[in-house]
Amino acid sequence: MERKRILLADDHQIVRAGLKQLIDAEPDLHVAGEAATSAEALALLREGNWDLVLLDISLPDRTGVDTLRLIRTHLGDIPVLIVSAFPEEQYAINLLRAGANGYLKKDADVDEILRAIRVVLQGRRYLSPTAADLVASRLDQPGAGPAHQDLSEREFQVLCKLASGMSVTQIADELFISVKTVSTYRSRLLEKLQLGSNAELTYYAVKNGLIQ
């Protein structure tokens, strides 16, 4: 049996070690590469053939949100399973909308981690019971839950960057869009979230666990 090649992208060595030990114990799975940064992960993805990426949200050089966008833009439809310490209600819907194939908490039990990996490898999306309830609630009651869950992928991306203290110019440079476009996104965010300033955006993001 040919084992599925998995890339671990997480900046915590102990987390990678634990996941690697768990995955490599399975006869059909193999951790064939590890990355501690977004740049390392993207470089490895360009170099080889991978069946799945386990991607953390909080990488030191680039957020998992940005990394996921770059994977989808430049590397196609390689399966990406998000593994995060953040609760599902904070990020899951936005990341699934951005192209993630699943969202998994780092404190999930062994059986759930392996089940999630195999579900995604089969070409399906993995939703934990909590994430599934969130998606169902959005369908049943549009507008229910945190307002950021209704943002577009790009709006959510700009929100996280503004809240982390980046200027409009810095965001424009990093996303390769114009300053005017970023300003438009900022205005749209303030309107949708019913906020009045960058300081309030930051407070909203901290309150909702979008930044630490």
Cβ 54 vs Cβ 8: under 8 Å: yes
* The predicted structure's pLDDT at residue 13: 93
Span 64-114, pLDDT tens digits? 888 998 998 888 889 999 998 877 766 777 788 888 999 988 888 999 999
Q: How far apart are CA 140 and CA 152, in angstroms?
A: 19
pLDDT category at 136 given cuts 50, 70, 90 is low
pLDDT category at 142 given cuts 50, 70, 90 is low
Q: How far apart are CA 101 and CA 50, in angstroms?
A: 15
Within 10 angstroms of residue 203's Cβ, the number of other Cβ atoms is 13
Span 2-55, pLDDT tens digits? 899 999 999 999 999 999 999 999 999 999 999 999 999 999 999 888 999 999
For residues 169 and 132, the model is more confident at 169
Span 150-208, pLDDT tens digits? 787 788 888 888 888 889 999 888 888 899 998 998 988 888 888 888 888 888 888 87
* Domains along the sequence of the chain with CATH: 4-139 (3.40.50.2300), 147-207 (1.10.10.10)
The set of long-range contacts for 209-212, using a CB threshold of 8 Å and a minimum separation of 24, is 209/86, 209/87, 209/90, 210/90, 210/91, 210/148, 210/159, 210/160, 210/163, 211/160, 211/163, 211/164, 212/58
Spatial CB neighbours of 44, under 8 Å, sequence gap ≥ 6? 7, 33, 35, 50
